[in-house]
Structure 1
Amino acid sequence: MLEKKIIKLILSKWDYGDFRIVFWDKEEFILGKNQPKFSLILKEKIPFYVLFKDTSLIFAQYYMQGKLDIEGDYNEIAKVLYYFSNKKYLKNKNVLSKIAQNKESENIKSHYDLGNDFYKLWLDETMSYSCAYFKNPKETLYEAQLNKIEHTLKKLNLKPKEKLLDIGCGWGWLSVIAAQKYGVEVVGITISKEQYQKANERVKELGLENQIEIKLQNYQDLKYHNYFDKVVSVGMFEHVGRKNLDLYFVKVKQMLKPGGLFLLHSILSMFEGKTNAWIDKYIFPGGYLPSLREVISIMSERDFHLLLAESLRLHYAKTLDIWTNNFNLAVDQVRKKYDEEFIRMWNLYLRSCSAAFKVGSVDLFQLLITKEINNEIPLTQEHIYK
Structure 2
Amino acid sequence: MNLDKVFFQNLMKDLFSDPCEVKYWDGDVVNYGGGAAQFRIKFKEPLSKSEMISDPSLAFGEGYMQRKIDIEGNIQQVIEFLFNNQDSFLHQKNKFVKLVNIFSNNIRKSKENIQYHYDIGNDFYRLWLDETMTYSCAYFKSPEDSLTLAQKNKVDHILRKLNLQSGQTLLDIGCGWGELILNAAKTYQVKALGITLSSEQYSRVLERIQEESLQELVEVQLIDYRELKNRTFDRIVSVGMIEHVGKENIKEYFSTVQVLLNKGGASLLHSITGYEEGGTNSWINKYIFPGGYIPVIQELVNHIAENSFYLIDLESMREHYTRTLEHWAENFEKSLALIQTMKDETFIRMWRLYLCSCAASFHCGNLDLHQLLFTKGVNNLWPMTRQNIYS
Q: TM-score normalized by structure 1? A: 0.90
Shift of 1:208: 1.2
Alignment match, 2:61 = 60
The aligned counterpart of 1:286 is 291
2:187 is the alignment partner of 1:187: no
- Counterpart of 1:296? 301
Aligned-residue offset at 1:3 = 2.4
Q: What is the deviation of 1:314?
A: 1.4
Q: What's the CA shift for 1:69?
A: 1.5
Aligned partners of 2:141 and 2:153 also within 8 Å: yes
- Number of aligned residue pairs: 377
CA deviation vs aligned residue, 1:171-230 (integer Å, no higher than 9, x gap): 1111000011101111110000000000011111211112111010111212245x1111
Q: Distance in 1 between matches of 2:345 and 2:40?
A: 22
Q: Residue 202 of structure 2 corresponds to which residue in structure 1? A: 196
Contact 1:75 1:359 (8 Å CA) reproduced: no
What's 2:124 paired with?
118
Q: Give 2:79's aligned residue.
A: 77
Alignment partner of 2:216 out of 205, 210, 213: 210
* 3-state DSSP of counterpart to 1:289: coil
Please state if 1:346 is matched with 2:359.
no
Letter in 1 for 2:300: V
Whether the 8 Å contact between 1:101 and 1:243 is mirrored in structure 2 is no
Aligned to 1:93: none
- What residue identity is the alignment partner of 1:288? Y
Greater Cα shift, 259-268 or 99-108? 99-108
Asked if 2 retains the 8 angstrom alpha-carbon contact of 1:75 and 1:356, the reply is: no
Question: 2:305 and 2:34 mapped to 1: Cα distance?
Answer: 46
Indicate if the aligned counterparts of 1:190 and 1:217 stay in contact, CA closer than 8 A: yes
> Is the counterpart of residue 383 in structure 1 residue 384 in structure 2?
no
Question: Which residue does 1:268 correspond to in 2?
Answer: 273
User: Do 1:166 and 1:186's aligned partners in 2 also have CA atoms closer than 8 Å?
Assistant: yes
Q: Which residue matches 2:102?
A: 102
Q: Residue 43 of structure 1 corresponds to which residue in structure 2?
A: 44
How far apart, CA to CA, are the structure 1 residues paired with 2:29 and 2:79?
17
Q: Partner amino acid for 1:25?
A: D
Alpha-carbon separation, structure 2, partners of 1:32 and 1:178:
52
How far apart in 2 are the matches of 1:162 and 1:343? 43
**285-294 or 29-38: bigger deviation:** 29-38
3-state SS of 2:128 partner: coil
Amino acid at match of 2:124: F
Which residue matches 2:184?
178
Q: Which residue identity does 1:221 align to in structure 2?
A: E
Q: Distance in 2 between matches of 1:52 and 1:355?
A: 22
Deviation, 1:81, is: 3.9
The alpha carbon displacement at 1:337 in A equals 1.3
Instruction: Kindly provide the CA deviation profile for residues 247-289 of structure 1, in whole angstroms up to 9, marking residues without a partner as x.
Output: 1111111100122111111111121113111100110011011
Q: Paired residue for 2:3?
A: 2
* Residue aligning to 2:360: 355
Q: Structure 2: how far apart are the matches of 1:305 and 1:26?
A: 62
The separation in 1 between residues aligned to 2:388 and 2:139, in whole angstroms, is: 17
- Which position in structure 2 is the counterpart of 1:305? 310
Task: Name 1:153's counterpart in structure 2.
Answer: 159
Q: How far off is 1:31 after superposition?
A: 6.1
Shift of 1:65: 2.0
Match of 1:374 among 369, 373, 379: 379
Shift in CA distance, 150/118, structure 1 to aligned 2, threshold 3 Å: same
Partner of 1:232: 237
The superposition leaves residues 229-252 of structure 1 with CA deviations (integer Å, 9 ceiling, x where unpaired) of 110011111111111111111111
Instruction: Normalising by structure 2, report the TM-score.
Output: 0.89
Q: Which amino acid aligns with 2:45?
A: E
Matched, 1:139 2:145: yes
Q: Quote how far apart the aligned CAs of 1:50 are.
A: 4.9
> Retained in 1: the 8 A contact 2:19–2:34?
no
Give the distance between the partners of 2:285 and 2:333, measured in 1 at CA: 23
Correspondences of 1:246-261 after superposition (within 5 Å): 246-261=251-266
Contact kept, 8 Å, 2:98 with 2:282, in 1: the verdict is no
Find 1:244's aligned residue among 243, 249, 256: 249
Equivalent residue letter for 2:196: T
Identity over aligned pairs, percent: 45
**Which secondary structure does the structure 2 equivalent of 1:188 belong to?**
strand
Following superposition, the deviation at residue 136 of structure 1 comes to 1.3
Distance 1:26 1:270, change over 3 A: farther
Structure 1 regions of 5+ residues with no counterpart? 90-96
CA-CA distance at 1:304 after TM superposition: 1.8
Q: 1:328 to 1:47 in 2, by over 3 A?
A: same
CA RMSD in angstroms comes to: 2.5
Q: Could you report, residue by residue, the CA deviation over 1:285-320 in whole angstroms, capped at 9, with x for unpaired residues? A: 110111111211222112222111111111111111
CA distance in 1, matches of 2:381, 2:81: 44
TM-superposition CA deviations, 1:133-153 (whole Å, max 9, x none): 111122221111111100110
Classify the secondary structure of the residue corresponding to 1:341.
helix
Deviations 1:363-385 (A, max 9, x none): 11111111222222111111000
Q: Distance in 1 between matches of 2:93 and 2:69?
A: 29
Indicate how the Cα distance of structure 1 residues 24 and 307 shifts in structure 2: closer, same or farther if over 3 A, else same. same
1:355–1:161 distance in 2 versus 1, CA, 3 Å: same
Q: Deviations over 1:83-142 (max 9, x none)?
A: 5656579xxxxxxx9977622343232110011111111111110011111111222211
| Secondary structure of 2:273 counterpart | strand
Counterpart of 1:205, as a letter, is E
Report if aligned partners of 2:233, 2:261 keep a CA contact under 8 Å in 1.
yes
AA matched with 2:236: V
Secondary structure in 2 matching 1:213: strand
142 and 51 in structure 1: CA distance in 2 versus 1, 3 angstrom threshold: closer
Q: Take 2:262 and 2:331, find their aligned partners in 1: how far apart are those partners? A: 41
The answer for unaligned runs of 5 or more in structure 2 is: none
Sort the Cα spacing of 1:189 and 1:326 in 2 relative to 1 into closer, same or farther, 3 A: same
CA contact (8 A) 2:312 2:374 kept: yes
* Partner Cα separation in structure 1 for residue 183 and residue 371 of structure 2: 19
Using the alignment, how far apart are the partners of 2:308 and 2:30 within structure 1?
54
Secondary structure at 1:108's aligned position in 2? helix
